[in-house]
């Protein structure tokens, strides 16, 4: 992979939010809509942010929307959509910093480190490994991995961590990301109303 490749920011916002009760991309934290919040932090790191979402969704926010090529097929389809969009947009190999729309405690400092780690890497994906496992929706994916990922997808694989095994991967270990996670919430996401309320309390208390 080219170390001098450009990097593009993408927010995944195609989930059904079935456990959440309503569209979590539209949830507010400290008066800010999550989707806008995530786009803002990505733009600070990569210079731009696109949203991968089902056709017609979120246009009112004025963000750059990329229609998910495989809506309803899970995050792997969204990741592939982002990679294909980046490859067409840059006319060359490029890195994609891809994050979920429900991770309120990601910081510019951490994402900048992750970006810098990726552009110096020869891997197909640079992903942190937390105690919960790999974090594919807070990772850098290279467009050079598109073919292998698409082959896995077309052969029925939908679990992102399973597809990751098909490409070269550089793992960001806890010793590398822990300094960005003093509060222990770096990779925390919101899947339920209770988790949303807990995130709201933390964000409002910290004034973030």
pLDDT of residue 52: 95
pLDDT of residue 3: 45
**Which two tokens mark 95?**
């890195």
CA atoms within 13 A on the CB side of 176: 15
pLDDT of residue 16: 61
pTM for this entry: 0.93
Q: Which domains does the chain have, with CATH numbers?
A: 7-206 (3.90.550.10)
pLDDT tens track of the chain, all 208 residues? 444 567 999 999 976 666 676 788 988 988 899 999 999 999 999 998 999 999 988 988 776 999 999 998 999 999 999 999 999 987 678 999 999 999 999 999 999 999 999 999 999 999 999 999 999 999 999 999 999 999 999 999 999 999 999 999 999 999 999 999 988 999 998 888 888 889 889 888 876 6
End-to-end alpha-carbon separation of the chain, Å?
36
pLDDT of residue 89: 82
What are 141's strand-pairing partners? 96, 125
Dihedral angle at the C-alpha atoms of 156, 139, 102, 180, nearest 10 degrees? Answer: 150
State how beta strands 32-33 and 28-29 pair. Answer: antiparallel
Return the number of other C-beta atoms located less than 10 Å from residue 6's C-beta.
17
Q: Phi, psi at residue 50, to the nearest 5°? A: -115, 150
């Amino acid at each position: 992979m080219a170390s001098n490749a450009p990097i593009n920011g993408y927010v995944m916002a195609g989930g059904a939010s079935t456990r959440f009760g309503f569209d979590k991309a539209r949830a507010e934290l400290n008066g800010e809509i999550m989707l806008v919040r995530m786009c803002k932090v990505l733009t600070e790191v990569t210079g731009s942010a696109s949203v991968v979402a089902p056709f017609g969704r979120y246009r009112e926010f004025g963000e750059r929307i990329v229609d998910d090529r495989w809506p309803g097929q899970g995050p792997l389809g969204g990741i592939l959509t982002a990679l294909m969009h980046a490859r067409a947009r840059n006319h060359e190999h490029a890195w994609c910093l891809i994050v979920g729309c429900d991770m309120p405690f990601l910081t510019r400092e951490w994402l900048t480190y992750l970006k810098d780690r990726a552009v110096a890497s020869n891997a197909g994906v640079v992903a942190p490994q937390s105690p919960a496992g790999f974090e594919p929706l807070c990772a850098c994916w290279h467009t050079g991995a598109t073919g292998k990922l698409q082959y896995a997808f077309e052969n029925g694989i939908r679990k992102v961590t399973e597809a990751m095994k098909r490409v070269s991967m550089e793992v960001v270990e806890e010793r590398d990301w822990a300094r960005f996670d003093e509060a222990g919430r770096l990779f925390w996401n919101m899947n339920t109303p209770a988790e949303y309320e807990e995130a709201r309390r933390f964000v409002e208390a910290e004034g973030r």
